[in-house]
A and B are shown apart, each in its own frame.
Chain A
Amino acid sequence: MSEKNELSFEENMNKLEEIVEKLESGDVPLEKAIQYYHEGMKLSKICSDKLTNVESQMKQILNEHGEFESFDVQEDE
């Protein structure tokens, strides 16, 4: 599993959305806008990382001894 993040992907996405909307609303002072932008880009990166680091997830199956072992889908049958 990837390292624990405080917020879930969805929560990060929602925060990102909020920031985008704030920025788009237009009445944000420039300094604040830049601050929002940095924050937004950070969130974007967190989300992007979450989406990019996708390969390493475990697929496991409970065996007859009550233990999990890795599981691969058998393509045939």
Chain B
Amino acid sequence: MEFRRKDDVLELSELDPFLAELLRQIPSSTKCDDAAAAEQRIFSEPAQPNEKEICEEWKVYVQPELRRLFQSATETVASDLQQLNGSEKPFANCTLRIPTEHADDWLNALNQARLVIATKNNFNEGELCDHYRSPIGSRRDLSLFQVNFYGFLQEFILRETGGA
């Protein structure tokens, strides 16, 4: 896999089918489903529990806006990922081109996905720093690899768009 910026496009080339599939899973990975802990992490409290009024107003007025923001970012990413669905040869390496104007949406959706996966799997700090664990040991190892791969992609986007 190769990363580079070409003018206003961030290009990920030589994507093998495994990494392409992980990328396709970004939108679905942002969904909390029935995991209350993941929902609580994505929509965290704005104040300590004793500030009941602030917390209640937040749920009514702010959370719907945040939900729309996160949904919009995920939709942009899902739209860009359509490029990975048109390959005539299903096992061939492919290329993904991300317009730099979509960079913030990608950072947001990748962060949603990382937080949801990490919360659902209850990864600790030590595991999150283990970048060398094989993804083929178990479903949990694959999820950890996914979190780290998405983080790697975030680093690339930040570096190439001047955010890091």
Q: Decide whether A and B are members of one complex.
A: no
Residues on B facing A (Cβ under 8 Å): none
Residues on A facing B (Cβ under 8 Å): none
